[in-house]
Amino acid sequence: MSKTTSLHAALDFSLDALFEWVRQTRQVDLCSYDSDFALRQICQRLEELSLGALSDYLSFLKNDPNEVERLITRMGVGYTRFFRNALVFETLRCRILPSLLQERPLLKRDGLRLWSAGCATGEEPYSLAILILELMRCDPSLSPARIFATDIDETMLEHARRGVYSPSRLASTHLAWVERYFLAEEREFRVREEVKSLVDFSSEDLARKSTLAPAASIFGEFELILCRNILIYLKPAQQTKIIQKLSRALAPGGYLVLGRTEEIPEPVLPLLHVISPDLRIYRRT
Ligand SMILES: C[S@@+](CC[C@H](N)C(=O)[O-])C[C@H]1O[C@@H](n2cnc3c(N)ncnc32)[C@H](O)[C@@H]1O
Protein backbone atom coordinates (compact mmCIF):
# COMPACT_ATOMS: atom_id res chain seq x y z
CA MET A 1 0.00 0.00 0.00
CA SER A 2 1.46 3.42 -0.90
CA LYS A 3 2.04 6.08 1.76
CA THR A 4 -0.76 8.22 0.37
CA THR A 5 -3.19 5.27 0.11
CA SER A 6 -2.68 4.17 3.74
CA LEU A 7 -2.98 7.74 4.94
CA HIS A 8 -6.10 8.09 2.89
CA ALA A 9 -7.68 4.97 4.39
CA ALA A 10 -6.86 6.17 7.92
CA LEU A 11 -8.15 9.71 7.43
CA ASP A 12 -11.18 9.28 5.22
CA PHE A 13 -13.71 10.45 7.80
CA SER A 14 -11.84 13.69 8.54
CA LEU A 15 -11.50 14.40 4.82
CA ASP A 16 -15.28 14.15 4.49
CA ALA A 17 -15.74 16.54 7.42
CA LEU A 18 -13.23 18.91 5.88
CA PHE A 19 -14.90 18.82 2.45
CA GLU A 20 -18.29 19.38 4.10
CA TRP A 21 -16.95 22.52 5.82
CA VAL A 22 -15.67 23.88 2.49
CA ARG A 23 -18.99 23.04 0.83
CA GLN A 24 -20.97 24.86 3.51
CA THR A 25 -18.77 27.95 3.64
CA ARG A 26 -17.94 28.42 -0.05
CA GLN A 27 -20.48 26.21 -1.93
CA VAL A 28 -17.50 24.44 -3.56
CA ASP A 29 -17.60 20.64 -3.69
CA LEU A 30 -14.05 19.28 -3.31
CA CYS A 31 -15.39 15.69 -3.37
CA SER A 32 -15.14 15.85 -7.16
CA TYR A 33 -11.33 15.88 -7.02
CA ASP A 34 -9.38 12.67 -7.42
CA SER A 35 -8.96 11.64 -3.75
CA ASP A 36 -5.22 10.80 -3.85
CA PHE A 37 -4.53 14.13 -5.52
CA ALA A 38 -6.69 15.95 -2.93
CA LEU A 39 -4.97 14.21 -0.05
CA ARG A 40 -1.50 15.07 -1.39
CA GLN A 41 -2.43 18.76 -1.58
CA ILE A 42 -3.90 18.74 1.95
CA CYS A 43 -0.90 16.88 3.42
CA GLN A 44 1.44 19.47 1.90
CA ARG A 45 -0.66 22.16 3.58
CA LEU A 46 -0.37 20.30 6.95
CA GLU A 47 3.41 20.28 6.55
CA GLU A 48 3.56 23.98 5.67
CA LEU A 49 1.49 24.82 8.77
CA SER A 50 3.38 22.30 10.98
CA LEU A 51 0.12 20.55 11.86
CA GLY A 52 0.11 16.83 12.74
CA ALA A 53 -3.42 15.67 11.95
CA LEU A 54 -6.31 16.41 9.66
CA SER A 55 -8.49 17.25 12.68
CA ASP A 56 -5.99 20.04 13.58
CA TYR A 57 -6.23 21.30 10.02
CA LEU A 58 -10.05 21.29 10.20
CA SER A 59 -9.90 23.45 13.37
CA PHE A 60 -7.42 25.77 11.64
CA LEU A 61 -9.75 26.01 8.63
CA LYS A 62 -12.70 26.90 10.86
CA ASN A 63 -10.74 29.64 12.63
CA ASP A 64 -9.21 31.27 9.55
CA PRO A 65 -11.70 32.06 6.76
CA ASN A 66 -8.83 32.87 4.35
CA GLU A 67 -7.59 29.27 4.61
CA VAL A 68 -10.67 27.99 2.74
CA GLU A 69 -9.71 30.24 -0.16
CA ARG A 70 -6.07 29.04 0.06
CA LEU A 71 -7.17 25.41 0.01
CA ILE A 72 -9.39 25.95 -3.04
CA THR A 73 -6.47 27.66 -4.79
CA ARG A 74 -4.19 24.74 -3.91
CA MET A 75 -6.67 22.18 -5.23
CA GLY A 76 -7.19 24.14 -8.42
CA VAL A 77 -3.51 24.06 -9.39
CA GLY A 78 -3.85 27.34 -11.16
CA TYR A 79 -0.76 27.37 -13.35
CA THR A 80 -1.36 28.88 -16.78
CA ARG A 81 0.30 31.22 -19.28
CA PHE A 82 -0.51 33.19 -22.44
CA PHE A 83 -0.82 31.02 -25.57
CA ARG A 84 -0.26 27.81 -23.61
CA ASN A 85 0.11 25.07 -26.26
CA ALA A 86 0.97 27.31 -29.20
CA LEU A 87 -0.28 24.85 -31.83
CA VAL A 88 -3.81 24.95 -30.41
CA PHE A 89 -3.82 28.76 -30.57
CA GLU A 90 -2.40 28.71 -34.12
CA THR A 91 -5.19 26.33 -35.16
CA LEU A 92 -7.75 28.64 -33.58
CA ARG A 93 -6.21 31.69 -35.28
CA CYS A 94 -5.79 30.21 -38.77
CA ARG A 95 -8.66 27.74 -39.07
CA ILE A 96 -11.40 27.92 -36.49
CA LEU A 97 -11.86 31.58 -35.49
CA PRO A 98 -11.82 33.07 -39.02
CA SER A 99 -14.66 30.82 -40.18
CA LEU A 100 -16.60 31.32 -36.95
CA LEU A 101 -16.20 35.11 -37.12
CA GLN A 102 -17.34 35.22 -40.73
CA GLU A 103 -20.20 32.74 -40.65
CA ARG A 104 -21.71 32.61 -37.20
CA PRO A 105 -22.73 36.23 -36.60
CA LEU A 106 -24.79 36.03 -39.80
CA LEU A 107 -27.00 33.54 -37.96
CA LYS A 108 -27.17 35.52 -34.72
CA ARG A 109 -27.56 39.14 -33.78
CA ASP A 110 -25.24 39.28 -30.78
CA GLY A 111 -21.96 38.08 -32.33
CA LEU A 112 -19.72 35.19 -31.44
CA ARG A 113 -19.88 33.71 -27.92
CA LEU A 114 -16.81 32.02 -26.45
CA TRP A 115 -16.23 30.46 -23.00
CA SER A 116 -12.92 29.91 -21.24
CA ALA A 117 -14.02 27.48 -18.49
CA GLY A 118 -11.45 27.27 -15.66
CA CYS A 119 -9.61 30.39 -16.81
CA ALA A 120 -7.38 30.69 -13.68
CA THR A 121 -5.61 34.08 -13.73
CA GLY A 122 -6.99 35.06 -17.14
CA GLU A 123 -4.16 34.34 -19.59
CA GLU A 124 -6.29 31.92 -21.66
CA PRO A 125 -9.30 34.23 -22.30
CA TYR A 126 -6.99 37.22 -22.92
CA SER A 127 -5.05 35.10 -25.46
CA LEU A 128 -8.35 34.39 -27.24
CA ALA A 129 -9.22 38.12 -27.15
CA ILE A 130 -5.84 38.97 -28.72
CA LEU A 131 -6.45 36.49 -31.56
CA ILE A 132 -9.85 38.03 -32.22
CA LEU A 133 -8.45 41.57 -32.24
CA GLU A 134 -5.71 40.44 -34.65
CA LEU A 135 -8.29 38.93 -37.02
CA MET A 136 -10.39 42.11 -36.80
CA ARG A 137 -7.33 44.21 -37.66
CA CYS A 138 -7.07 42.27 -40.94
CA ASP A 139 -10.80 42.45 -41.62
CA PRO A 140 -12.57 45.29 -39.78
CA SER A 141 -15.94 44.12 -41.13
CA LEU A 142 -15.89 41.08 -38.81
CA SER A 143 -18.39 41.16 -35.93
CA PRO A 144 -16.88 41.35 -32.48
CA ALA A 145 -16.98 38.47 -30.02
CA ARG A 146 -17.79 38.18 -26.35
CA ILE A 147 -15.59 35.93 -24.20
CA PHE A 148 -17.04 34.59 -20.95
CA ALA A 149 -14.25 33.51 -18.58
CA THR A 150 -15.03 31.59 -15.40
CA ASP A 151 -13.21 29.95 -12.52
CA ILE A 152 -14.11 28.50 -9.14
CA ASP A 153 -11.38 30.51 -7.41
CA GLU A 154 -12.18 34.16 -6.53
CA THR A 155 -8.53 35.02 -5.83
CA MET A 156 -7.53 33.98 -9.33
CA LEU A 157 -10.44 35.90 -10.82
CA GLU A 158 -9.31 39.05 -9.01
CA HIS A 159 -5.86 38.66 -10.57
CA ALA A 160 -7.51 38.03 -13.95
CA ARG A 161 -9.57 41.21 -13.74
CA ARG A 162 -6.47 43.23 -12.79
CA GLY A 163 -4.70 41.83 -15.86
CA VAL A 164 -1.11 42.40 -14.71
CA TYR A 165 1.47 39.66 -15.41
CA SER A 166 5.12 38.85 -14.91
CA PRO A 167 7.24 38.49 -18.09
CA SER A 168 7.47 34.69 -17.65
CA ARG A 169 3.71 34.38 -18.33
CA LEU A 170 4.26 36.05 -21.72
CA ALA A 171 7.18 33.88 -22.86
CA SER A 172 5.12 32.26 -25.70
CA THR A 173 3.61 35.54 -26.94
CA HIS A 174 4.77 37.16 -30.23
CA LEU A 175 6.77 40.30 -29.52
CA ALA A 176 4.52 42.34 -31.84
CA TRP A 177 1.47 41.28 -29.79
CA VAL A 178 3.21 42.10 -26.50
CA GLU A 179 3.89 45.59 -27.88
CA ARG A 180 0.39 46.01 -29.26
CA TYR A 181 -1.75 44.59 -26.47
CA PHE A 182 0.22 45.19 -23.24
CA LEU A 183 1.53 48.22 -21.38
CA ALA A 184 5.01 47.65 -19.98
CA GLU A 185 5.13 48.64 -16.32
CA GLU A 186 8.13 48.49 -14.04
CA ARG A 187 8.60 44.72 -13.97
CA GLU A 188 5.26 43.57 -15.28
CA PHE A 189 2.93 43.84 -18.23
CA ARG A 190 -0.63 45.18 -18.06
CA VAL A 191 -3.26 44.00 -20.54
CA ARG A 192 -4.68 46.96 -22.49
CA GLU A 193 -8.34 47.98 -22.10
CA GLU A 194 -9.04 47.02 -25.73
CA VAL A 195 -8.31 43.37 -24.80
CA LYS A 196 -10.04 43.51 -21.42
CA SER A 197 -13.21 44.90 -22.96
CA LEU A 198 -13.86 41.62 -24.79
CA VAL A 199 -13.69 39.46 -21.65
CA ASP A 200 -16.33 39.05 -18.95
CA PHE A 201 -15.01 37.27 -15.79
CA SER A 202 -17.30 35.51 -13.32
CA SER A 203 -17.22 32.82 -10.65
CA GLU A 204 -18.58 29.41 -11.67
CA ASP A 205 -18.15 25.89 -10.29
CA LEU A 206 -18.18 23.61 -13.32
CA ALA A 207 -19.16 20.68 -11.10
CA ARG A 208 -22.34 22.38 -9.90
CA LYS A 209 -25.39 20.61 -11.29
CA SER A 210 -27.82 23.52 -11.15
CA THR A 211 -26.08 25.71 -13.77
CA LEU A 212 -25.44 25.06 -17.44
CA ALA A 213 -23.44 28.16 -18.37
CA PRO A 214 -22.07 31.35 -16.78
CA ALA A 215 -25.02 33.42 -15.53
CA ALA A 216 -23.85 36.49 -17.50
CA SER A 217 -24.10 34.52 -20.75
CA ILE A 218 -27.81 33.87 -19.94
CA PHE A 219 -28.39 30.79 -22.07
CA GLY A 220 -25.05 29.36 -23.24
CA GLU A 221 -25.06 28.55 -27.00
CA PHE A 222 -21.30 28.97 -27.29
CA GLU A 223 -19.45 28.67 -30.58
CA LEU A 224 -16.22 27.74 -28.80
CA ILE A 225 -15.47 26.44 -25.29
CA LEU A 226 -11.95 25.97 -23.92
CA CYS A 227 -11.81 23.69 -20.87
CA ARG A 228 -8.14 22.83 -20.54
CA ASN A 229 -6.08 21.30 -17.73
CA ILE A 230 -8.92 20.93 -15.22
CA LEU A 231 -10.34 17.46 -15.89
CA ILE A 232 -6.99 15.81 -15.09
CA TYR A 233 -7.49 16.64 -11.40
CA LEU A 234 -11.04 15.27 -11.22
CA LYS A 235 -12.61 11.85 -10.72
CA PRO A 236 -13.80 10.12 -13.95
CA ALA A 237 -17.51 10.47 -13.01
CA GLN A 238 -17.03 14.18 -12.48
CA GLN A 239 -15.15 14.54 -15.78
CA THR A 240 -18.11 12.94 -17.58
CA LYS A 241 -20.64 15.27 -15.93
CA ILE A 242 -18.61 18.36 -16.80
CA ILE A 243 -18.08 17.37 -20.44
CA GLN A 244 -21.78 16.52 -20.76
CA LYS A 245 -22.66 19.93 -19.39
CA LEU A 246 -20.19 21.75 -21.67
CA SER A 247 -21.41 19.82 -24.72
CA ARG A 248 -24.96 20.94 -23.96
CA ALA A 249 -23.75 24.54 -23.63
CA LEU A 250 -22.28 24.44 -27.18
CA ALA A 251 -24.24 25.76 -30.13
CA PRO A 252 -24.74 23.12 -32.87
CA GLY A 253 -21.41 22.89 -34.72
CA GLY A 254 -19.61 24.65 -31.83
CA TYR A 255 -16.06 23.62 -30.87
CA LEU A 256 -14.73 22.21 -27.59
CA VAL A 257 -11.00 22.25 -26.77
CA LEU A 258 -9.53 20.18 -23.92
CA GLY A 259 -6.02 20.09 -22.42
CA ARG A 260 -3.19 18.14 -24.07
CA THR A 261 -3.63 14.98 -21.97
CA GLU A 262 -7.40 15.09 -21.46
CA GLU A 263 -9.94 12.78 -23.08
CA ILE A 264 -13.63 12.89 -23.96
CA PRO A 265 -15.29 10.34 -21.64
CA GLU A 266 -16.92 7.41 -23.47
CA PRO A 267 -20.58 8.32 -22.66
CA VAL A 268 -20.17 11.78 -24.25
CA LEU A 269 -18.49 10.60 -27.48
CA PRO A 270 -21.77 10.46 -29.49
CA LEU A 271 -22.32 14.18 -28.83
CA LEU A 272 -19.02 15.27 -30.38
CA HIS A 273 -16.87 14.47 -33.36
CA VAL A 274 -13.12 14.64 -33.30
CA ILE A 275 -11.55 17.48 -35.29
CA SER A 276 -7.97 16.95 -34.08
CA PRO A 277 -7.15 14.02 -31.77
CA ASP A 278 -3.67 15.40 -31.01
CA LEU A 279 -4.81 18.91 -30.20
CA ARG A 280 -7.93 17.64 -28.39
CA ILE A 281 -10.31 19.69 -30.54
CA TYR A 282 -13.89 18.43 -30.89
CA ARG A 283 -17.06 19.68 -32.55
CA ARG A 284 -20.66 19.34 -31.44
CA THR A 285 -22.61 17.07 -33.81
C1 LIG B 1 -4.42 24.48 -14.36
S2 LIG B 1 -5.59 25.77 -14.34
C3 LIG B 1 -5.98 25.81 -16.08
C4 LIG B 1 -5.98 27.20 -16.63
C5 LIG B 1 -6.17 27.27 -18.13
N6 LIG B 1 -7.42 26.65 -18.54
C7 LIG B 1 -5.00 26.62 -18.84
O8 LIG B 1 -5.14 25.52 -19.38
O9 LIG B 1 -3.93 27.21 -18.86
C10 LIG B 1 -7.02 24.94 -13.67
C11 LIG B 1 -8.08 25.93 -13.21
O12 LIG B 1 -9.31 25.23 -13.06
C13 LIG B 1 -9.99 25.79 -11.97
N14 LIG B 1 -10.97 24.81 -11.49
C15 LIG B 1 -10.74 23.65 -10.85
N16 LIG B 1 -11.89 23.04 -10.54
C17 LIG B 1 -12.88 23.83 -11.02
C18 LIG B 1 -14.29 23.75 -11.02
N19 LIG B 1 -14.93 22.71 -10.46
N20 LIG B 1 -14.99 24.75 -11.60
C21 LIG B 1 -14.36 25.80 -12.17
N22 LIG B 1 -13.03 25.94 -12.21
C23 LIG B 1 -12.29 24.97 -11.64
C24 LIG B 1 -8.90 26.09 -10.97
O25 LIG B 1 -9.29 27.05 -10.00
C26 LIG B 1 -7.77 26.57 -11.86
O27 LIG B 1 -7.75 27.96 -11.98
Q: How is the chain split into domains, by residue range?
A: 3-76, 86-284
CB-CB contact of 11 with 51 (8 Å): no
Distance 119 CA to ligand 1 centre (A): 6
Sign of CA dihedral 36, 204, 182, 104: positive
Is domain 3-76 annotated with CATH 3.40.50?
no
Distance 79 CA to ligand 1 centre (A): 9
Q: What is the pLDDT of residue 105?
A: 55
Q: What is the pLDDT of residue 107?
A: 57
Q: Which helix (H) or strand (E) holds 149?
A: strand 145-151
Per-residue pLDDT of the chain (285 residues; tens, 9 = 90+): 445 544 554 465 668 888 899 888 877 778 878 878 888 888 889 889 998 888 889 999 999 989 998 898 888 777 899 999 999 999 999 999 998 987 765 555 567 899 999 999 999 999 999 999 999 999 888 877 899 999 998 889 999 999 999 999 999 999 999 999 999 998 999 999 999 999 999 999 998 877 888 887 777 789 999 999 999 888 899 999 999 999 999 999 999 999 988 999 999 999 999 999 999 999 998
Ligand 1 nearest-atom number relative to CA 84: 9
CATH of 86-284, one of 3.40.50.1220, 3.40.50.150, 3.40.50.12780, 3.90.850.10: 3.40.50.150
Q: What is the pLDDT of residue 10?
A: 47
Q: What is the pLDDT of residue 31?
A: 81
Distance 76 CA to ligand 1 centre (A): 6
Among 124, 152, 199, 212, which is best to mutate for testing ligand 1, by the most ligand atoms less than 8 A from CB? 152
> How many C-beta atoms lie closer than 10 Å to residue 128's C-beta?
27
3-class SS of residue 166: coil
In sequence order, what are the residues at sequence separation of 6 or more whose Cβ sits closer than 8 angstroms to the Cβ of residue 225?
A: 114, 115, 116, 117, 246, 249, 250, 254, 255, 256, 257
Overall residue count recorded for the chain in this entry: 285
**Closest residue (by CA) to atom 9 of ligand 1?**
80
**Closest residue (by CA) to atom 2 of ligand 1?**
78
Residues within a 6 A CB radius of ligand 1: 76-80, 84, 118-120, 124, 151-153, 156, 204-207, 228-230, 259
Distance 103 CA to ligand 1 centre (A): 30
